[in-house]
Each structure stands twice: as structure tokens, then as C-alpha cells.
Amino acid sequence: MLKVAIATSSSEKINGIIEAISRTFNIEKSEIEFYFKATESGVPEQPMREETYIGAFNRVEKIQSDFPQMDFYISCEAGIENVLDLYFNVQVVCIFDTKLKKCLWGKSSGWLIPTEDIEKIKNNTLDSYLRGKGINSIEELLGTSHSRKISVMQATELALAYRNLLK
């Protein structure tokens, strides 16, 4: 039985991670024991740039003391990356693999935020910015094929793929 601790209480993130673990290891969800707990990231509510990675790492570090002897400790942090003068919202996943004693990292594809609006988001949050535009969910913006669950699943699968390069 695979044992996984996830540092969140978000059902969308949990479901994305569960789906990715099941698909990656080609096992039924019933063959995996999942444990969940909301964990503080130690970064601002709206992470920018490297804060997204730091927040994901902090959550993985903190959850290990709550659930000893897991195979994987996983966290996901949503944040905004800046490349050139472009800003992308991404999901970053950090997985601590206890057998390898390494962190595995993955990132979802990102969607572009208008550069002229980034100050509004920095001064508040992406969620409040979207609500101000009349968008109440990621599905309203991106459609159901690009939900938060799908983004988290993608980032988790990409993090787990890194294990194949370590063999």
C-alpha cells in the first residue's frame, strides 16, 4: 500500500494529486492511503516568482512531522511567474520522495495575465482580481478542460516523471 500525505485541504488540489498518483503508478486509488492537512506556506497569500516554490517546499517540510513514515509528501502552491515582461499563473508541486530522499518538482502550464493588471494582483490576490472581472472560478476563465484539478494533476505527474531520470 502506497502512503501519501498531502499538505492541503483544497478538494481540487487533493483530487488532482490523487488522480496523478493513480495514473503514474498505474494502480487503483483504493491501493493508496492518502492523508490530508492544511499547512501554512510561510509566503504571502499571493506568491510571486520564487515565493511559489518556497511556499510549496515549506508545506512539504511541515507536513512530514504530522504524518511519519509516508512514501511521499506532496504540496501544491499556486503563484505567478514572471518571464521577460510576461506574467503567468502556474501550479507548482513539490514532492518529497522518502526512498530517494529528494524533492521532485513539477509545474503546470500557465495562463497569461495582462501585464498592465499585475499591480492590482500584487496589491491584493489573483482571486479578487478575477472576481473583479466577473470571473468566479478558473473553469469560467479557462473552461472545464483546464481546471485547477487538471493543472495540479499535470504538475504532479511531471514531478513524478523526474524520478525516471534518477534511476
Tens digits of residue pLDDT in 116-144: 999 989 888 888 999 999 998 888 888 87
The pTM for the full model equals 0.93
Cβ atoms of residues 110 and 81 within 8 Å: yes
**Domain membership flag for residue 133:** no
CATH of the domain at 102: 3.90.950.10
Percent of the chain's residues with pLDDT above 90: 81
User: Domain total for the chain?
Assistant: 1
Please list, in sequence order, all residues whose beta carbon lies within 8 angstroms of the beta carbon of residue 73, skipping any fewer than 6 positions away: 4, 5, 7, 60, 63, 64, 67, 95, 96, 98
Owning domain of residue 77: 2-112+147-166
pLDDT of residue 147: 80
In a domain, 55, yes or no: yes
Q: Report which of 80, 100, 99 is spatially closest to residue 89, judged by C-alpha positions.
A: 80
Residue 45 lies in a domain: yes
| 80-97: pLDDT as tens digits | 999 999 999 999 999 999
What is the per-residue pLDDT for 63? 97
Instruction: Please determine, for residue 60, whether its predicted confidence score (pLDDT) is greater than 90.
Output: yes
Nearest by Cα to 75 from 140, 10, 27 = 10
Distance CA 15, CA 157 (A): 13
pLDDT over 90 (residue 145): no
Q: Quick check: is 121 in a domain?
A: no
Q: Is residue 65 part of a domain?
A: yes
In contact, 79 and 90? CB cutoff 8 Å: yes
